Structures are given as structure tokens and as C-alpha cells.
Chain A
Amino acid sequence: MKSHFAALAAALLLAAPSAASAQAGSKGTVKVGILLPLTGNTAWAGKTNRIAATIAAEEVNAQDLAGGYKIELAIGDSQCEPRAAHDQAERLISQEKVQLLIGEWCSSASVAAAQVASDEKVPLLVNISTADQIAGDAGPYVFQSSMQNRYSQQREAALLAKDFKFESVAIIVENNDFGLTFRKNMVALMQKAGKKVVLDVTQDRNDTNWYATITRIPASKPDLVIVSISAVQAANFVKQYAEAGITTPLFSDYPPPPRIFERQVGLQAGKIGLVRASFFVTSETNTPAQKEFVAKLEARAQKELNEAHDVTYWDVASYDAVRLVADAIKRGGPQADGYLKAMAATKADLVLGHYEFDEQRGARPDGLNFVFIRTKPDGSIEVVQ
């Protein structure tokens, strides 16, 4: 009896290593470059994105999710800046010899990276930038897994029509690509819905003084104010809006990151009753996959950065991107032709939702997470829908 056990045990032990060697690494390593802002004024977000991506790569390798290939990440600090993105993409390709690329955060940097990717024929997955048509404009080597601005704006317009009673609207935007496309799309959507645009302001994105704009709001008497202003500037705006004591309801486009934003201006946002769109927010309405990811990332971020971290969309997108890349490698191999075909045929369920690509290589928006949240007077968040 014992000897049978022993034999069985021995057989299992012998089998185990060979099973392991059939796993990750047996077909070699694929180097994947990631472009992130690690220095400069968006570095506060980039650092955790890197951790999220690393977690994903470790999981891919441990669970052999890349069809026998191991993934090795190479990081490029592109500072959210096009020239740096261009140089880093070049460096990752020529020095680090990456076969595949992921990135970037800021649309102008992604555009630059897309240019390099197309020229050098290295597939790029744009995972965070939401500018319209990056993949479509850049050619066959570029895919975009983030939901493009026009799709999020359509959803926002639908929500506004459903939940807000208004006849006149004020549209205030920053002059960056979010703001400008938001303005263009919203003005068109509002006019189609028969609403009157009583104030239409575009502000220089480096100008932190919103008082002039805010002064014009009560003068033009809108029923609703909709804005597209990103992160820090949004905080400035909300602060100044609350201070001016304006009671008109305020809706914001996607940029201000939940919880981080609330830490900065939660009370003011709550006082106004700010409603905004978000790709992702940690809450009880999260799917199990999302909750699992949040737990993993928060623990790791606490350990590595020694500070508590609120998971953002950008973290999720970084994680999902590595998983998408692995999935495409599994089905099509790491060589460009097979990889691109596999990516085009992706049907994956990851943390942010269901990923599929259209003929222009942009992600189909229907399966992706998109929520609306309202800040309550005590500064906390509730998910509206």
C-alpha cells in the first residue's frame, strides 16, 4: 500500500515539473513595452498604473495566459508628453527590442507613439487615451481599447436627457482634446434635442482662474451647466463654483478621477451635487472581477508605495491591456501579422468589461464599464446608474 502511494507520489512529482515547463516560457519570452507618465505632472497616476500592469504580467506568467509565452514588461517614461513618448517608443523598440507596445495616457502622447508604432511596424495598444479615432487614423498597427470620447459623450447626453430637466444649458470646456470634442459633440446633441445653449465658453487649459467664466454663469441663467475639464483644473473649477454659491446643477464629463477628486474637493462637489461620468469607481456595485482587482492593487500599492491608493480607471486599463495583449499572443503569437489578426478577433471579459474591436480597431463601447456618480454633501460618492 505504502509503496503504491510512494510510487504515485513519485510519479506525480516527476510529472509536475514537466507540466510546469509546458507552461509559461516554453515558447520563449515576449517583451512588451509600456509607455506611462512616471515623471511630470501626471506622474501621480502613472506610478500605480505601472503596478497594475506588473500584477497583470505576473498573473499571465504564473497562469500561462499567453499560450506558452512569458511576458516581460519594459517601461518607458513618456511624461504624458508627445516628444518623450516618441523618444521612449523609439528606445523601447530599438534598445529594449520590444515586440509589442502599450500606451499612453495623454492623447497627444498616444498620437506620437502611434506614429512610431506605424513607422516601425510594432503593434501598439492604446489603452488609456480616449481621443477619437487614434487607431483609425494611425493605421493597421494600432488598436484602441479605451472607450472613445464620442461614445462616452453619447452616453452622457442620454443620461442628461433622461435625468435632468432643463431647457437651457451652459457648456464650459477646457481647450484640450477632451474639452474640444465634448463641446463640439454636445453643442450638436443639445441643438438636436431642442435645448438652448446660452453660454459656450472655452478656457485655456493652463489658466487656473475660472472666476471670469463663473461670473458669466448667473448672468446667462442656464438650467444646467455641463463641463469638460480635466483632473486638477476640474478641482479648481468645482472649488470656485461652490465658493461663488451657484446653485445651478453641474454635470461633468469623465476626467475627474473618483475618490482622488473627492479627497481634493469632495465637500465642495457635494455641496453642488456634482454628477459626473466615470469609467470606473470602486463601489458595492462592482463586479466580482473588479472587486478582486481592487483588492489586489490596493494591497500591492500599499506595500510598494507606502500609501493608500484609490483604484482608478487608468489602473484598470493598464491591467486589462496587458491581459488583452497576452490573450492576443495566445491566439495569434507575438509576430505582428498573427498578433494583429488575433487582436482584431478579441472577445475578452476582463476587469473593465467585455472587449471587442470594430473595423477601425477601436473598442466597441457597449461592453465597457461606464457609470455616473454623484457626490453627496458629506463628500462621498454614490453610483447613480
Chain B
Amino acid sequence: MSRRVLPIAAVVVLAGLPLTFGAFWINMVITALIFSLAVFSINLLTGLTGLLSFGQAGFVGIGAYTLGVLAKQGYPPMLAGFYGVLLAMLCGFLLGLPAARLKGHYLAIGTLGFGILVYQLLTNSVDITRGPMGLIGIPTGGIDKQTWYLIMLAVCVAMLAALAYIDRYSALGVVLKMVRHDEIAAQASGINTFAVKLIAFTVSAGIAGLSGALFAAYVRFLTPDLFNEQESFRYMMMAVVGGIGSPLGGVVASVMLTMIPEGLRALGEDNLRLLVYGTMVLFVLWFLPTGIGGLVERLRK
């Protein structure tokens, strides 16, 4: 009984938070929650299925730019966002076709390559995306920050629930985990591991694309630099610090790693703040090998 009540109570408390925080911190939290969707995509792909990907920013960018470009051309934003997610999923599928045959670090660098290709495409297709000039004034205004916060909270909670369901209760989850643990045994059991990996890539790309679409809708401007390989590394960092298999840890890490640099501004507007950031990442990795999510699990028990 208490296992159900606690999360619900937590959500209710969280929903009421904006009433106490200032606009700036709400902005940070909203951005962090949007990022956490990208982190969820990694939890699914890497945490659950064991497939490394350093190209998730590419899918985020595809989702974001699809919404941005189409919305500016007059499409209703929800539809544009939907197309963004679809296009991201399609690209995930296409990437998965060759990528599913790659292992370990080959996969990591291969996906990195994909991410870089997407970034350069976004930069150079100036006629569509306006490239480095940036896409400004995406017509999704009119929603205030409190509402955005509640939207993102709802999306994240839904996604957490969905991932938890997949992880613990569904056949898909079992299959994904089998592929991670021991691919050969999985194949021997008759599972089409290739298809499973494709599904993982596609769904994970869709989630990342959703993150991008929401980002575009929220900040309402885009430049290709927002989706370069450094961003992919950032998502990976958040995922690992949060615990690669723990979406809940992922949200917490996302919020922390977004807000801590801001909070550290007290140390001065310069490099000291980022130094502390890097050191904190190292500390978490040294002392919490299963990440924040692992810590939460241990506290539960």
C-alpha cells in the first residue's frame, strides 16, 4: 500500500512546487525535465537493452527541428511535434538496421558518427533549417511557465510509469534485458535479437525526438549547436550519474546537473564553477557506481 502512496504523494507535492519557487528556477526545472526525456531514451536503449549510443542528440535535434520548421510553416504545433517524433522514430529505425549488428564500442562510435552527421546536416541545410542563423519565433507561445511545468511533470511521470512497466511487467522488458545480458542465449531461445534491437532503437529514438519537440515548443528558438556531440555526451553523463538502468535516477540527475551549475554561480561567473561540476560528476561515479538511482534503491531497502 505504502509503495503506491509514496510516489503519488510525491507527485502531488511536486505539482504544487511552482507556487513556491521563483520563475527562474521553474525555468531550470522545466528544461531539466525536458532533458530527462532524452535521458530516458538512454535508459531504455543502454540501461535496459545494453546498446550504447552517443548519438541521441541527433534524434533530439530531428524532433526539435521538425516541430520548429513545420510550426513556422503553419502546421499546428501538436501535429508538427507528432511528425517530429515519427521522423525521429524512422531515423532510429534506419540507424538500427546497421547498428543492431554492431557491438560495444563499435556501436558507440558508430552512433557518435550518426549524431555528427545529423548535426552537420542541420547546420548545412540552411534553406530548411536556417542553419547557424537559427530558427526564431516558433509559434508555440501563450503557455505560461506554471502550465509548462505541469505538462512536463505529467509527461515525465507517464514516461517513468511506462518505463517501469516495460521493465518489470512486460514481455518486451524481459526480452530487452535478455538481449543485454546474454545475446547468444537469447538467440538460442529463439528470440529474434535483431528485431528486438531494432525496436529498442526505434522507441528510444522516438522518446528522444519527443524531448526535442518539447524543447523546441518551450524555448521557441533553435540553433544546430544545441544538438552537437557535446550534447550527446551530456545526456550520457546524466544517464550514468543517475544510474544507467534507473529512469528515476535519470530525472534526479538531470535536475541536479542542470541546477547545480546555476547554483554554483555563487562561486563566480567563471571556470571554478565548471571545475566543481566536473569534480562532482567524478565523485558520484567513484562513490555511487550504480548512480543516484542505485542509491535510491538501496535507501528503499
Q: Do chains A and B touch in the complex (CB under 8 A)?
A: yes
Enumerate chain A interface residues (CB-CB to B < 8 A): 38-39, 43, 75, 77, 81-83, 86-87, 90-91, 93-95, 107-108, 111-112, 114-115, 118-119, 131, 137-139, 175-177, 180-181, 202, 204-205
Q: Is B124 an interface residue (CB 8 A)?
A: yes
Are A108 and B225 interface neighbours, CB within 8 A? yes
Kindly identify which residue among B27, B126, B141 contacts A94, using a CB–CB cutoff of 8 Å.
B27
B124 pairs with A175, CB closer than 8 A? yes
The residues in B between 117 and 143 inclusive whose CB is less than 8 angstroms from any CB of A are 120, 123-124, 126, 131-134, 136-137, 141
Residues of B within 8 A of A (CB): 22-24, 27-28, 31, 120, 123-124, 126, 131-134, 136-137, 141, 219-221, 223, 225-226, 262, 265, 269-271, 273-274
Q: A112-B221, A115-B220, A115-B221 are in contact. Are A180 and B133 (CB under 8 A)?
A: yes
- Nearest-CB residue, chain B, relative to A91: B24
A180 touches B126 (CB 8 A): yes
Chain B residues, CB < 8 A from A77: 265, 269-270
Q: Is the CB–CB distance between A82 and B137 below 8 Å? A: no
Which of B136, B223, B262, B274 neighbours the largest number of chain A CB atoms within 10 Å of its CB?
Answer: B136
Contact B136 A87 (CB under 8 A): no
A125 to B68 Cα, complex, angstroms: 25
Pairwise interchain contact B134-A90, C-beta atoms closer than 8 A: no
A177 touching B133 in the complex, CB below 8 Å, given contacts A38-B269, A75-B269, A87-B262: yes
- Which of B27, B134, B223, B271: most chain A CB closer than 10 A? B134
**Extra contacts besides A83-B226, A119-B220, A177-B131 (7): CB < 8 Å:** A38-B270, A77-B265, A77-B269, A91-B24, A108-B132, A118-B137, A177-B133
A39: which of B137, B225, B271 is its contact (CB, 8 Å)?
Answer: B271
User: Closest residue of chain A to B218, judged by CB?
Assistant: A86
Q: Determine if A81 and B132 form an interchain contact, defined as CB atoms under 8 angstroms apart.
A: no
A254 to B154 CA separation, bound complex (whole angstroms)? 49
- Is B137 in contact with A81, judged by CB distance below 8 angstroms? no
Q: Known contacts being A82-B134, A180-B131, is A90 close to B269, with CB within 8 Å? A: no
A82-B220 in contact (CB<8A): no
**16 A-B contacts (beta carbon < 8 Å):** A75-B269, A82-B223, A83-B219, A83-B226, A87-B27, A90-B27, A93-B23, A94-B23, A107-B132, A108-B132, A108-B133, A111-B134, A111-B223, A112-B219, A112-B221, A175-B124
What is the CB-to-nearest-CB distance from A322 to chain B, in angstroms, rounded to a whole number? 18
Q: Which A residues lie within 8 Å of B262 (CB)?
A: 87, 91
Q: Given the known A-B contacts A87-B262, A180-B131, are A175 and B31 also in contact in the complex, defined by CB atoms under 8 Å?
A: no
Closest to A50 in B: B269
When distances are taken between beta carbons in the complex, the residues of chain B under 8 Å from A202 are: 124
Cross-chain contact B134 with A107 (CB below 8 angstroms): yes
Residue pair A82, B126 in contact (C-beta under 8 Å):
no
Shortest B228–chain A CB gap in Å is: 9
Residue of A83, A137, A180, A204 near B136 (CB, 8 A) is A137
